[in-house]
C-alpha cells in the first residue's frame, strides 16, 4: 500500500469533508475558504476560519470524526477523544489561530499471536506489557487497571495474559471469588490466592480480603516514610489483583462492604507514589461495584465485549463510542491509557491470542 504524502492526505480529507459538511455548515466549505486541513505525522487539524456561520463545538468535532475515521480506514485509525480537542496554532492571523486536532495512529489495531506465552513474557524488557502490535503498556506509568466486560467476553483469558507478565516484575496478591482461572494460574506459579472456602459465609470471605488490604495499606504507609527520607529510593511493584469485583461487593454485610470500599479508596489514592497497584476485573464498574474515588484513579481502562453507550457508561462516562471501528470477534473492545503522552485517546482493542506451554494448558 503506497503511502500518501501530507499534501495528498490534506486534499483527500478536504474532499471528504466538503461532501458531507456543506449541509451542516450552511453551505460553507473549503472552496469558500471557510476551513482548511493541515496534516502532520501524528494526526490532522481542522482549521476553521473565523468569523464563521457555523458553531465550533463538540458536535462539530464528533461529526468530523465520523467522516474522517471512515474515510481514512484502514490506512489510519483516528483516536477517539471524550470531547473536542482544541489546539492553538502558531500564527498571528486571528482568523485561524485555533484548530480541532484529530490524533491518529497508522494502520489499524492488529492482534498479537503468541505461540508460547511463558517464553514470550520472559523475553520482554522489564515493566513492559505488549498489548497489540505497536501498543505496549509501560508499567512504570500505570496507576491502576480496570477490565470490564460481559460474561464470556474473554476477561479471564486477558487477565491470565497480564498476570504472565506481571509475575516477572511485580509481587502479586490475587483475590478470586470464583475460584477459577486466576486460581489455577496462581497454583501453577506458586502464588497464594484468597478464595472462598467451604463452610464460610460471604461476609467472612470479604473480611479476609479486608485484612489483606489493610496490610497493603500499612505497607503503603511504611513506603511513604521511606520516600520521605529518600525520594529516589527504588521500590518494587506490588499488584493487588481482584477478579469479579462485583461478586465481592454484592450481598455482603453493610459494615464489611463499607470497610472494603474504604480500604480500596485509600489504596487507590495513596498507592501511586509507592508502586502499589490495583488490577480490577468486573462485569461493570458502577458505584455499587467500586467507589467513584477508585474509578477516578484508574489510568488503564479496558472494555471487552459489547461496545455501546450503555456498556461504556461507567469506564468512559464522557465517551460516545459512535464511529469507532471495532473488529468483530472475541476479546475485542476498547482501551484507553491515561498518561502524559497519550492525552485521552481511546482506541480499538484486540486482545492477544496466546498459547501456554503443554504443561500449563489446563489453566484455561
Give the pLDDT mean for 21-48: 87
Contact indicator for 285, 315 with CB cutoff of 8 Å: yes
- Counting residues of the chain whose pLDDT is more than 70, the rounded percentage is 95
When pLDDT is cut at 50, 70 and 90, the band that residue 302 belongs to is very high
Give the pLDDT mean for 240-250: 92
Q: Above 80 in pLDDT, residue 53? A: yes
pLDDT of amino acid 27: 72
Q: Above 70 in pLDDT, residue 359? A: no
Q: Above 90 in pLDDT, residue 361? A: no
Q: Above 70 in pLDDT, residue 1? A: no
- 29 vs 73, higher pLDDT: 73
Q: Rounded to whole angstroms, how far apart are CA atoms 156 and 181?
A: 7
Give the pLDDT mean for 330-336: 92
Give the pLDDT mean for 7-14: 96
Give the pLDDT mean for 188-195: 93
SS (H, E, C) the chain: CCCCCHHHHHHHHHHHHHHHHHHHCCCCCHHHCCEEEEEECCEEEEEECCCCCCCCCHHHHHHHHHHHHHHHCCCEEECECCCCCEEECCCCCHHHCEEEEEEEEECCCCCCEECCHHHHHHCCCCCEEEEECCEEEEHHHCCEEEEEECCCCCHHHHHHHHHHHHCCCEEEEEECCCCCHHHHHHHHCCCCEECCCCCCCHHHHHHHHHHHHHHHHHHHHHHHHHHHHCCCCCCCEEEEEECCHHHHHCCCCHHHHHHHHHHHHHHHHHCCCCCEEEEEEECCCCCCCCCHHHHCCCCEEEEECCCCCCCCCCCCCCCCCCCCCCCCCCCEEEEEECCCCCCCCEEEEECCEECCCHHHHHHC
pLDDT of amino acid 121: 94
Q: Rounded to whole angstroms, how far apart are CA atoms 139 and 187?
A: 24
- CATH 3.40.50.620 assigned to domain 113-363? The reply is no
Give the range among 73-77, 146-150, 324-328 with minimum mean pLDDT. 324-328
pLDDT of amino acid 360: 63
Ordered by start, the domain boundaries in the chain are 6-106, 113-363
**Predicted structure pTM score:** 0.91
Q: Rounded to whole angstroms, how far apart are CA atoms 204 and 293?
A: 25
When pLDDT is cut at 50, 70 and 90, the band that residue 358 belongs to is low
In this structure, the dihedral spanned by the alpha carbons of residues 181, 163, 158 and 155, taken in order and rounded to 10 degrees, is 50
pLDDT digits (tens, 9 = 90+) for 106-120: 999 999 999 999 999
Give the pLDDT mean for 68-88: 93
Give the pLDDT mean for 123-129: 94
State the chain's mean pLDDT as an integer.
91
Q: Which of 13-27, 50-64, 224-238 has the highest mean pLDDT?
A: 224-238
pLDDT of amino acid 364: 62
Give the pLDDT mean for 120-136: 94
- 23 vs 220, higher pLDDT: 220
Give the pLDDT mean for 310-327: 89
Give the pLDDT mean for 338-345: 69
pLDDT of amino acid 328: 77
When pLDDT is cut at 50, 70 and 90, the band that residue 362 belongs to is low
Q: Above 80 in pLDDT, residue 184? A: yes
In this structure, the dihedral spanned by the alpha carbons of residues 121, 123, 125 and 129, taken in order and rounded to 10 degrees, is -20
Give the pLDDT mean for 101-109: 93
Contact indicator for 214, 276 with CB cutoff of 8 Å: no
pLDDT of amino acid 259: 96
Amino acid at each position: 500500500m503506497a503511502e500518501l504524502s501530507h499534501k495528498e492526505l490534506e486534499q483527500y480529507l478536504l474532499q471528504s469533508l466538503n461532501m458531507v459538511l456543506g449541509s451542516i455548515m450552511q453551505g460553507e466549505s473549503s472552496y469558500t475558504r471557510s476551513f482548511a486541513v493541515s496534516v502532520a505525522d501524528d494526526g490532522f487539524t481542522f482549521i476553521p476560519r473565523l468569523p464563521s456561520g457555523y458553531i465550533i463545538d463538540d458536535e462539530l468535532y464528533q461529526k468530523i470524526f465520523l467522516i474522517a475515521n471512515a474515510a481514512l480506514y484502514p490506512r489510519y485509525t483516528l483516536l477517539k477523544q471524550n470531547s473536542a480537542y482544541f489546539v492553538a496554532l502558531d500564527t498571528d492571523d486571528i482568523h485561524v489561530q485555533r484548530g480541532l486536532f484529530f490524533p491518529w495512529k497508522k494502520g489499524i489495531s492488529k492482534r498479537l499471536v503468541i505461540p508460547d506465552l511463558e517464553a514470550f513474557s520472559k523475553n520482554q524488557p522489564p515493566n513492559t506489557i505488549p498489548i497489540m502490535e505497536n501498543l505496549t503498556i509501560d508499567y512504570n506509568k500505570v496507576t491502576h487497571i480496570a477490565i470490564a466486560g460481559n460474561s464470556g467476553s474473554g476477561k479471564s483469558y486477558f487477565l491470565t495474559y497480564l498476570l504472565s507478565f506481571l509475575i516477572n516484575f511485580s509481587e502479586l496478591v490475587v483475590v478470586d471469588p470464583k475460584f477459577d482461572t486466576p486460581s489455577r494460574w496462581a497454583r501453577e506459579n506458586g502464588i497464594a490466592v484468597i478464595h472462598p472456602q467451604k463452610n464460610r459465609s460471604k461476609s467472612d470471605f470479604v473480611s479476609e480480603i479486608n485484612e489483606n488490604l489493610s496490610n497493603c495499606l500499612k505497607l503503603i504507609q511504611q513506603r511513604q516514610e521511606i520516600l520521605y527520607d529518600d525520594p529516589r529510593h527504588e521500590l518494587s511493584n506490588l499488584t493487588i489483583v481482584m477478579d469479579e469485583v462485583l461478586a465481592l461487593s454484592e450481598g455482603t454485610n453493610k459494615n464489611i462492604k463499607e470497610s472494603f470500599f474504604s480500604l480500596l479508596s485509600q489504596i487507590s489514592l495513596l498507592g501511586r507514589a509507592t508502586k502499589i497497584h490495583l488490577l480490577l476485573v468486573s462485569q461493570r464498574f458502577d458505584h455499587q461495584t467500586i467507589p467513584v474515588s477508585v474509578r477516578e484513579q484508574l489510568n488503564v481502562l479496558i472494555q471487552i465485549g459489547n461496545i455501546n453507550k450503555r456498556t461504556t457508561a461507567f469506564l468512559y462516562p464522557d465517551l460516545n463510542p459512535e464511529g469507532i471501528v471495532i473488529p468483530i470477534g472475541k476479546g475485542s473492545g476498547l482501551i484507553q491509557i491515561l498518561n502524559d503522552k497519550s492525552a485521552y485517546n481511546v482506541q480499538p482493542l484486540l486482545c492477544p491470542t496466546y498459547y501456554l506451554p503443554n504443561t500449563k494448558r489446563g489453566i484455561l
